[in-house]
């Protein structure tokens, strides 16, 4: 049995190694994990810029990657504690974003300011337990290539935003958005789509 499998199959050993990586009841990895360990597990492309005031809550047991020429601006938090975080090439993660995996951000994507995109939900069904003791459920978010996500948007778990979409500022995206669409509102609804036959963006409502 591989060493990693032995850890996963032994609750006490798993708890001990988890404590080595993350202080109890916290999300931020220990300094030695951030400075030393992560560089052996995660992939950074060429000419990547991650600003000094970015909070990188990334751990070695889930993937994190960021492609060539991409940038993460200050005051953003990126967390792969419950699922992978993958950012493509030439993409911008703007000021003050919260990115919680599992999530895939494609190539040439612009995320403006103060966006929350979380592939995590807290379980709440058992009314006899506090919510924080009920664990979490996850569903991947996918933002396909060439999208522009406006400021203060919220993207919920399990949503796929198709290629070359525009999501207006302040939208709450709770359902999939088809490619080549403009969506607005809470919950977000499609108001325009690109029509290939006329080479125009056509209003849908």
At residue 93, the 3 state secondary structure works out as strand
Strands ordered across the beta sheet of 77-79? 55-57, 77-79, 98-100, 116-118, 154-155, 172-173
What's residue 148's pLDDT? Answer: 98
What's residue 3's pLDDT? Answer: 52
- pTM given for the model: 0.89
156-191 burial string, b = 16+ CB within 10 Å, else e? bbbbbbbbebbbbeebebeeebebbbbbbeeebebb
At residue 63, the 3 state secondary structure works out as coil
Task: Kindly list the catalytic residues.
Answer: 122
What's residue 40's pLDDT? Answer: 82
Tens-level pLDDT at each residue, the chain (205 residues): 555 666 666 777 777 777 878 887 777 888 888 888 888 889 999 999 999 999 999 998 899 999 999 999 999 999 999 999 999 999 999 999 999 999 999 999 999 999 999 999 999 999 999 998 999 999 999 999 999 999 999 999 999 999 999 999 999 999 999 999 999 999 999 999 999 999 999 999 7
What's residue 85's pLDDT? Answer: 97
Q: Which of 114, 116, 121 is nearest to 82 (CA)?
A: 121
């Amino acid at each position: 049995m591989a060493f990693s499998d032995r850890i996963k199959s032994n609750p006490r050993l798993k708890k001990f190694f988890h404590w080595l990586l993350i202080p109890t009841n916290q999300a931020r990895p220990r300094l030695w994990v951030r400075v030393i360990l992560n560089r052996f597990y995660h992939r950074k492309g060429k000419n990547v810029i991650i600003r000094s005031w970015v909070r990188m809550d990334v751990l070695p047991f889930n993937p994190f990657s960021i492609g060539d020429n991409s940038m993460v601006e200050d005051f953003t938090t990126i967390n792969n504690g419950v699922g992978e975080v993958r950012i493509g090439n030439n993409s911008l993660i703007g000021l003050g974003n919260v990115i919680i995996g599992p999530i895939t951000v494609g190539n040439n994507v612009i995320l403006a300011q103060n966006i929350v995109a979380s592939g995590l939900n807290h379980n709440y069904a058992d009314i006899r337990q506090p919510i924080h003791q009920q664990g979490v459920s996850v569903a991947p978010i996918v933002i396909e290539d060439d999208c522009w996500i406006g400021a203060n948007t919220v993207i919920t778990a399990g949503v796929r935003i198709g290629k070359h979409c525009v999501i207006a500022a302040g939208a709450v995206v709770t359902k999939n958005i088809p490619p080549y669409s403009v969506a607005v509102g809470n919950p977000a609804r499609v108001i325009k789509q690109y029509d290939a036959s006329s080479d125009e963006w056509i209003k849908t409502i």
